[in-house]
Amino acid sequence: MEMKRVFLKLSGEALAGPKKTGFDEDTVKEVARQVKESVDAGVQVGIVIGGGNFWRGRTSDAIDRTKADQIGMLATIMNCIYVSEIFRNAGMKTQILTPFECGPMTKLFTKDRASKYFEKGMVVFFAGGIGHPYFSTDTTITLMAIEMEADCILLAKSIDGVYDSDPKVNPNAKKYDRISIQEVIDKKLAVVDLTASIMCMEHKMPMAVFSLNETNGIANAMQGKINGTVVTAN
């Protein structure tokens, strides 16, 4: 699998490391080191980060869903600002794009603007979701990857691939090395949410799922060496 332009999804919880909230700087520095290897090799990298290290608003009955999702959008922006700075400290050029104005902190997303940044060798962070409630960061990365004509979506997770059942519950769970997005939808394997899954299927966007804890997992994935599961679009 050739990788010229890839989109990497990082969960907020993964960035928090053992603390589960906030940031674990060593974890983020290790992500930066691996991404820099690929950037230096000429790979164009877009990044979407979840907000779960700050906010899990959907579990609350006291807050309107729209407001809860807006807080979640802001959480992803905070995450992108932090990770972007760690990346810059590691020697990369970065830019953060959002679907709505955030004053001087980010730039407003357009495809032309993002393309220009990619061509300059910058790591581009896509923050703030799609700017509307009811859409997850799974949907954000899928939409952005399709619009920006990426080769693949890379999902760095706490689990090392796609299984036929939850390996934490079922010790005999079978791991897939390769599976189609149609099978993922039919078997309700929840690699990404249903909206994102259907978009990937319709627009033939492949995905790869691997463990964030794998040694050089991100660097390997960006070079097309997937030790987890490849989710094909066919």
Show me where the domains of the chain are located.
Answer: 5-232
Is the pLDDT score of 34 beyond 80? Answer: yes
Residues 154-187 have pLDDT tens digits of 999 888 999 999 888 998 999 999 999 999 999 9
Whole-angstrom distance, CA of residue 130 vs CA of residue 201: 20
Q: Residue 180 CB: number of other CB atoms within 10 A?
A: 16
Least confident range from 108-112, 125-129, 171-175: namely: 171-175
The pLDDT confidence band at residue 56, using thresholds 50, 70 and 90, is confident
Give the C-alpha distances (Å, rounded to integers) separating 225 from 17, 108, 166, 217, 232.
24, 33, 24, 9, 15
Is the pLDDT score of 202 beyond 80? Answer: yes
Tell me the mean pLDDT in the region 96-119. 97
Is the pLDDT score of 20 beyond 80? Answer: no
pTM here is 0.94
Is the pLDDT score of 58 beyond 70? Answer: no
The pLDDT confidence band at residue 148, using thresholds 50, 70 and 90, is very high
Cβ–Cβ under 8 Å, residues 47 and 231: no
Question: Which one is predicted more confidently, 46 or 62?
Answer: 46
Residues composing the chain = 234
- As given in the structure block, the two tokens for residue 120 are 């300059």
Give the C-alpha distances (Å, rounded to integers) separating 1 from 60, 84, 140.
41, 27, 23
Tell me the mean pLDDT in the region 5-34. 90
Whole-angstrom distance, CA of residue 213 vs CA of residue 18: 12
Supply the CATH classification number for the domain 5-232.
3.40.1160.10
What's the chain's average pLDDT? 93
Whole-angstrom distance, CA of residue 120 vs CA of residue 103: 23
Which candidate, 148, 144, 161, places its Cα nearest to that of 217?
161
- As given in the structure block, the two tokens for residue 170 are 């079922």
